[in-house]
Amino acid sequence: MLSLIVFLHAAVQAGTPLLFATIGEIVTEKVGNLNLGVEGLMLMGAVGGFMAGYHSGSPLVAIIVAALTAMIGGWIYAFLTVTLRANQVVTGLAITILGTGISGFLGQSLVGEVLPKSFTNVFKPLSIPILNKIPFFGHVFFNQNLFVYLGFIAAILLTVYYKYTRLGLNAKAVGENPYAADANGIDVSRYKYAHILLGSALCGLGGAYLSLVYIPAWQENVTAGRGWIAVALVIFSMWHPSRAILGAFVFGGLDIVGFRLQELNISISQYLIDMLPYLVTILVLIFNSVRKDFVAGPKALSVSYFREER
């Protein structure tokens, strides 16, 4: 029982970068833009955050720079797909390659470097009074670091945003039917830009969690494919930010299950373990497509919008 709690506690931590990236991609897809550049954006956030943290020593500056670095990537994506109406899939893949290159290049001299002590202090586990007394779940969810809580809060705020606010409703309308949204007086381009940038910033934070908290040292290609899992997780959570919480932690668990099995002296090839999240993704896709109430996502996803189209 105790080891299960420890395992789940670790799964939440491993799931947090996935959570940020997933809700980031949800925000992007909700306005009708499929951004396959999540992996690249995470890496840009990771390297930007690490460099800023390494040189300034301030966790706050690191987080802000991480978000801003990823937003540069997001802006390039938005400019290409919204303003120039380029193919979203190709653009997204380009962003992934670009982000991987940038993080490798900038991180070259930082490999193996460790962040100052201030980081481990700020991101040490903080118990939330009362809630941490809940049996079993108390430790799993409410004895975590600040970054993890930030993820919860972001997901919940987004849920409220889409369900109860006018801005959220307008954003959804843009992703469902930009022609209708435009006819309603919604500025389609502005909504797309704003949400793509917000989504990118969230992806960047996901990457920063890895380089600032999870492994507080720089290593190349620190995301190791998590960006791709996030793209799949968007479908798993059926475009609901609140469901992304569950999905991210399940996949976080799959991510670390290999280590735990080693500890229990069960030997399974690491390669097979590494396949697990993707295998589950395939199963989820199959499961999703046979469901009656199958949600295919925003109707205008990955379709460029041009008002004067005839």
Query: Which residues sit at the interface with other proteins, rule CB under 8 A?
Result: 164-167, 169-170, 172-173, 176-177, 179-187, 299, 307-308, 310
Residue 292 CB, nearest approach to other proteins (Å)? 8
Residue 201 CB, nearest approach to other proteins (Å)? 21
- Token pair, residue 94, equals 């380009």
Q: Which is nearer to other proteins, 143 or 242 (CB)?
A: 242
Residue 160 CB, nearest approach to other proteins (Å)? 9
CA 4 to chain centre: 25
Q: From CA 90, how far away is CA 81, in angstroms rounded? A: 10
Q: Which is nearer to other proteins, 85 or 299 (CB)?
A: 299
Q: Which is nearer to other proteins, 264 or 308 (CB)?
A: 308
Contacts of 129 (CB under 8 A, 6+ apart): none
Q: Which is nearer to other proteins, 3 or 184 (CB)?
A: 184
Q: Which is nearer to other proteins, 265 or 308 (CB)?
A: 308
Q: From CA 109, how far away is CA 47, in angstroms rounded? A: 11
Three-state secondary structure call for residue 126: strand
Residue 163 CB, nearest approach to other proteins (Å)? 9
Q: Which is nearer to other proteins, 182 or 220 (CB)?
A: 182
CB 155 within 8 A of CB 244: yes
Residue 36 CB, nearest approach to other proteins (Å)? 24
Residue 169 CB, nearest approach to other proteins (Å)? 6
Give the count of alpha carbons within 13 A of 310, CB side only: 0
Q: Which is nearer to other proteins, 129 or 308 (CB)?
A: 308
CB 148 within 8 A of CB 13: yes
CB 304 within 8 A of CB 88: yes
Residue 177 CB, nearest approach to other proteins (Å)? 5
Residue type present at position 28:
T
Contacts of 112 (CB under 8 A, 6+ apart): 217, 218, 219
Please give the C-alpha separations between residue 238 and each of 228, 277, 289, 305, in angstroms, as whole numbers. 16, 17, 12, 23
